[in-house]
Amino acid sequence: MNHHDLETTLEPQLEEASDLSTLRALRTQTMVLGHLLFALGLAGVGILSLASGDFPYSWQPVPDWVLWRNYLAYASGLLLLGLGIGMLVKRSARPSTLFTTIYLAIWVVLLQSPHVVQAPANVGAWLGFCENLALVCGGWVLFLSFGEGPHNSRLRFLADPRLPRLLFGLSCIVFGLSHFVYVEATAAMVPAWLPHRVFLAYLTGVGHLSAGVAILCRVVPRLAAILEASMISSFVLLLHVPGVFSSPGNRLQWTMLCVASALAGAAWTMGFRKEPVNDALGSFRKR
């Protein structure tokens, strides 16, 4: 076999390996972006709690009657700040992400679930629940991206990223429904310089719904997650960053910026694939 014949034979395999390498690089970039936004967003929430001595509004609705509430707020802020920084340090990234996910799950169970149980038909209650659930899913998938999963056979299902993606898809559907139920409030958040604000509120609601359905039905789920992440990231840039600049002393604006950034990070992580691309490259080398 001469050089030309060998090149012709190997060309399809080489193109396939190149495509896999490009795909792996794209997934790595989205995971890095998701990791960064998720960690910084939650660390920002922690800083706000430390600065104000309070919990972050509806995202962590601790009742006023709770004993030592202010001290718990400081403790929560310190924990979120420490875990957020820990997620950005290579040695501590994996355990910090695990503890962050567990802590966020506690928010969902103890703080958000009671509101849903008390008013199961209230979309607002579900919105708070699902915003926190989406953060849990982001931390969950980010933790799985570090490699090792649970060793206990009873917990093997926790090592499957399809479960957090399913929950994230359900959360997106609730996000979309909230745009329709609270269309006036949603439209009021759209910058005044953009035309047809009510239409944009409905349009982004459809975007959330479409992404959620696509993720749930596994119809181009990674593309749907990327588009959802892009949309939430655009909210950060177009809504929340200008909101902070227009009112830098407003804690609500800062909180919305930090939470939206963390949600965007969670969405970017949804493109993670459990089966590493290295396996596909390995099978190519064995041909």
Q: Which tens digit of pLDDT belongs to each residue from 186-204?
A: 999 988 888 999 999 999 9
In a domain, 61, yes or no: yes
In a domain, 2, yes or no: no
Q: Does the pLDDT value for residue 154 go beyond 60?
A: no
Residue 160, domain extent? 22-276
Strands (DSSP E) along 53-110, which ranges? Answer: none
In a domain, 11, yes or no: no
How many domains does the chain contain in total? 1
Q: Does the pLDDT value for residue 221 go beyond 80?
A: yes
In a domain, 285, yes or no: no
In a domain, 182, yes or no: yes
Spatial separation of the C-alpha atoms in residues 241 and 257, rounded to whole Å: 7
What string of DSSP letters covers 226-271? HHHHHHHHHHIIIIIHHHHHH-TT-HHHHHHHHHHHHHHHHHHHTT
Alpha carbons within 13 A on the beta-carbon side of 269: 31
Give the pLDDT mean for 173-182. 97
More confident residue, 162 or 271: 162
| 256-284 confidence digits (pLDDT tens) | 999 999 999 999 998 776 544 333 333 33
Distance (Å) of CA 216 to CA 121, 128, 172: 22, 20, 10
| 12-55 confidence digits (pLDDT tens) | 543 444 555 655 656 677 888 999 999 999 999 999 999 999 99
What would the two tokens of residue 131 be?
A: 């915003």
In a domain, 282, yes or no: no
In a domain, 80, yes or no: yes
Assessment of whether the complete model's pTM goes beyond 0.95: no
Q: Does the pLDDT value for residue 143 go beyond 80?
A: yes
What would the two tokens of residue 194 be?
A: 């953009």
In a domain, 15, yes or no: no
